[in-house]
């Protein structure tokens, strides 16, 4: 018969082994630093259950502006970064913080404005002309001011319109340093214009007197990309699990799931990862 001491030792070892296996199982998770638009639009609520059911990998999303999400990746506080500011993403890769960038999907930006349309731009397809009119008439404009992908796009569009917004802004231009939902709510309260990604706009419920005033300009194109945080910079990065998520996003199954997501019969994002795999 086993001595009590030996039996106790074996039992303790078995408990430690089971505990270790349980810890590994519980650790099958990743952190994805992403934009507020992918979260607020409801896209993650649609695609993540599909990914998790297939792989058993739990995904925790940290929704931030693109600049903040990239900084989260730089600190090694995320395994994957999924954002929409290509120039910033490419810099992230060049600096060695990311392994490789993949296109995932696109939609577009739209200029939202009040029903009263004080700048007289409703129906325009020329975003530069619309911003020029807003500046000339000093019509209220809300900027996210948070270094997000949408904020970066807004600053680029002012520049392309020939306007130095840093020197041109006055009381008519309000920077809030918050996400897209807050910017839309502020614009509604102020009867102001605001640049939004179309996905968040379509999912936004508190529209009030707001509506799309400018759309269709090719300069409003909005590309999303995904990157694995470099495990050579941050050994804590779960490279295999993170890459599994990226591989799923750009796979035919993941691309189909993205394309199937709709609100009121309207598709929010258009998958375009195919050229990255060709």
Instruction: Please give the pLDDT value at position 4.
Output: 44
Separation of alpha carbons 177 and 258, rounded Å: 29
Same domain membership, residue 211 and residue 123: yes
Same domain membership, residue 121 and residue 146: yes
**Is there a contact between 84 and 66 (Cβ–Cβ < 8 Å)?**
yes
Structure tokens at 230: 């470099």
Q: What is the domain-level CATH number for residue 31?
A: 3.40.190.10
Same domain membership, residue 196 and residue 118: yes
DSSP 85: -
Residue ranges making up the domain that contains 187 = 108-220
Average pLDDT, the chain: 91
Same domain membership, residue 207 and residue 144: yes
Separation of alpha carbons 224 and 229, rounded Å: 16
225: region left, alpha or beta (phi > 0 left; psi from -120 to 50 alpha) = beta
In-domain check, residue 171: yes
Please count the residues of the chain. 278
**Is there a contact between 193 and 109 (Cβ–Cβ < 8 Å)?**
no
| pLDDT tens for each residue of 61-100 | 999 999 999 999 999 999 999 999 999 999 999 999 999 9
Domains contained in the chain, number: 2
Same domain membership, residue 216 and residue 90: no
Same domain membership, residue 233 and residue 206: no
Instruction: Please give the pLDDT value at position 40.
Output: 87
Same domain membership, residue 234 and residue 186: no
Separation of alpha carbons 13 and 4, rounded Å: 14
Tokens 């995320």 belong to residue: 78
Same domain membership, residue 88 and residue 122: no
Question: Span 187-214, mean pLDDT?
Answer: 95
Structure tokens at 89: 């993403």
In-domain check, residue 2: no
């Amino acid at each position: 018969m086993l001595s009590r001491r030996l039996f106790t030792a074996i039992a303790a070892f078995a408990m430690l082994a089971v505990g270790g296996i349980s810890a590994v199982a519980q650790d099958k998770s990743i952190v994805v630093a992403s934009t507020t638009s992918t979260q607020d639009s409801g896209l993650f609520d649609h695609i993540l259950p599909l990914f998790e059911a297939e792989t058993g990998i739990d995904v925790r999303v940290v929704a931030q502006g693109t600049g903040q999400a990239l900084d989260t990746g730089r600190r090694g506080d995320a395994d994957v970064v999924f954002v929409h500011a290509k120039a910033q993403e490419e810099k992230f890769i060049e600096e060695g913080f990311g392994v490789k960038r993949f296109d995932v999907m696109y939609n577009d930006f739209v200029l939202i404005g009040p029903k009263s349309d004080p700048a007289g731009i409703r129906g325009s397809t020329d975003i530069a002309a619309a911003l020029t009119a807003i500046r000339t008439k000093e019509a209220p404009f809300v900027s996210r001011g948070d270094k997000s992908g949408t904020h970066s796009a807004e600053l680029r569009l002012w520049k392309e319109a020939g306007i130095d917004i840093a020197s041109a802004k006055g009381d008519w231009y309000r920077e809030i340093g918050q996400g897209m939902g807050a910017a839309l709510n502020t614009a509604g309260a102020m009867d102001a214009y605001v640049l939004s990604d179309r996905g968040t706009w379509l999912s936004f419920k508190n529209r009030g007197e707001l509506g799309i005033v400018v759309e269709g300009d090719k300069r409003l194109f909005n590309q999303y990309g995904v990157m694995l945080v470099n495990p050579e910079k941050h050994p804590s990065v779960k490279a295999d699990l993170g890459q599994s998520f990226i591989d799923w996003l750009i796979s035919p199954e993941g691309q189909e799931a993205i394309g199937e997501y709709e609100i009121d019969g309207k598709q929010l994002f258009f998958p375009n990862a195919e050229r990255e795999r060709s």
